[in-house]
Structure 1
Amino acid sequence: MISTYEAEKAIASALYTFKSQLTQIEEMGSHVLREDIFADRSYPPFNRVAMDGIAIAFDQFRAGRRSFIVEGCQKAGSPQLKLQNQANCLEAMTGASLPESCDTVIPYEQIEIRQGVAYLGAAINVVQGQNIHGKGSDYSTGDRLLSKGRWLRSPEWSILASVGKASVKTSSSPRIAVVSTGDELVPVDQVPEAHQIRMSNSWAIKAALNIHDFDRVEIYHIPDDERGLESRLGDLLLKVDCLILTGGVSRGKFDFVPQVLERLQVDKIFHRIKQKPGKPMWFGTNPEGKLVFGLPGNPVSTLVCLHRYVIPALQEGLGLDSSGKQAFAILAEDVVFKKDLTYFLPVRLRWSRDGIIVAHPIQNNGSGDFAALSASDGFLELPQENEYHKKGEVFPLYLWQGGLA
Structure 2
Amino acid sequence: MSSTATPPDGLWSVDEHLDDILATVKPLDPIELQLPDAQGCVLVEDVTVPVALPPFDNSSMDGYAVRVADVAGASEEFPAVLTVIGDVAAGSDGSLAVGPGEAARIMTGAPLPPGAEAVVPVEWTDGGTGQGAATGMRPAGEAPEDASGEVRVHRPAEAGAHVRERGSDVQAGDLALEAGTVLGPPQIALLAAIGRGTVQVRPRPRVVVLSTGSELVQPGEELAEGQIYDSNSFALSAAARDAGAIAYRVGAVTDDADTLRATVEDQLIRADLLVTTGGVSVGAYDVVKEALSAEGRVDFRKLAMQPGKPQGFGSVGPDHTPLLALPGNPVSSYVSFELFVRPAIRALMGLEDLHRPRVRARLTGRELSSPRGRRQFLRGRYDAEEGAVTPVGGSGSHLIAALAHADCLLVVPEDTTAVAVGEEVEVVLLG
What interval of TM-score do these two structures reach, taking the shorter chain for normalisation?
Answer: 0.7 to 0.9
Deviation string, structure 1 residues 195-239 (Cα, Å, up to 9, x no partner): 343333223223333454534514154444456555654565576
Alignment of 1:41 with 2:51, yes or no, is yes
- SS of the residue aligned with 2:64? strand
Cα gap change, 1:78 to 1:193, in 2 (>3 Å)? closer
Alignment of 1:282 with 2:292, yes or no, is no
Q: Using the TM superposition, give the Cα deviation of residue 291 of structure 1 relative to its aligned residue in structure 2, in angstroms.
A: 1.1
- SS of the residue aligned with 2:126? strand
Cα gap change, 1:217 to 1:365, in 2 (>3 Å)? same
The aligned amino acid for 2:80 is S
Q: 2:6 maps to which residue? A: none
- SS of the residue aligned with 1:152? coil
Contact kept, 8 Å, 1:67 with 1:117, in 2: the verdict is no
Cα gap change, 1:368 to 1:210, in 2 (>3 Å)? same
Alignment of 1:71 with 2:81, yes or no, is no
1:261-272 equivalences in 2 (<5 Å): 261-268=292-299, 271-272=301-302
User: How many Å separate the matches in 2 of 1:323 and 1:105?
Assistant: 49
- SS of the residue aligned with 1:272? strand
The aligned amino acid for 1:52 is D
1:120-269 equivalences in 2 (<5 Å): 120-121=153-154, 124=155, 126-188=157-219, 191-212=222-243, 214-226=245-257, 229=260, 233=264, 236=267, 240-255=271-286, 257-258=288-289, 260-268=291-299
Q: 1:337 maps to which residue? A: 369
Q: 2:34 maps to which residue? A: 24
What is the count of residue pairs matched by the alignment? 394
- SS of the residue aligned with 1:16? coil
User: How many Å separate the matches in 2 of 1:74 and 1:186?
Assistant: 65
Larger Rg: 2
User: How many Å separate the matches in 2 of 1:389 and 1:56?
Assistant: 73
Q: 2:102 maps to which residue? A: 88
Cα gap change, 1:128 to 1:357, in 2 (>3 Å)? farther
Q: 1:313 maps to which residue? A: 344
Tell which deviates more after alignment, 134-143 or 378-387. 378-387
Q: 1:372 maps to which residue? A: 402
User: How many Å separate the matches in 1 of 2:262 and 2:354?
Assistant: 40
Q: 2:118 maps to which residue? A: 104
Cα gap change, 1:165 to 1:196, in 2 (>3 Å)? same
Q: Using the TM superposition, give the Cα deviation of residue 333 of structure 1 relative to its aligned residue in structure 2, in angstroms.
A: 1.5
- SS of the residue aligned with 1:151? coil
Cα gap change, 1:2 to 1:93, in 2 (>3 Å)? same
User: How many Å separate the matches in 2 of 1:125 and 1:70?
Assistant: 16
User: How many Å separate the matches in 2 of 1:131 and 1:324?
Assistant: 45
Structure 1 spans left out of the alignment, 5+ residues: none
Structure 1 vs Structure 2 CA RMSD = 3.6
- SS of the residue aligned with 1:195? coil
Alignment of 1:7 with 2:17, yes or no, is yes
Contact kept, 8 Å, 2:98 with 2:114, in 1: the verdict is no
- SS of the residue aligned with 1:135? coil
Deviation string, structure 1 residues 51-100 (Cα, Å, up to 9, x no partner): 22223333455577951413333222112255443343333321111222
User: How many Å separate the matches in 1 of 2:83 and 2:15?
Assistant: 71
Contact kept, 8 Å, 2:63 with 2:105, in 1: the verdict is yes
Deviation string, structure 1 residues 156-180 (Cα, Å, up to 9, x no partner): 2222322333333444444433333
Tell which deviates more after alignment, 322-331 or 150-159. 322-331
User: How many Å separate the matches in 1 of 2:399 and 2:257?
Assistant: 28
User: How many Å separate the matches in 2 of 1:344 and 1:242?
Assistant: 25
Structure 2 spans left out of the alignment, 5+ residues: 1-10, 130-148
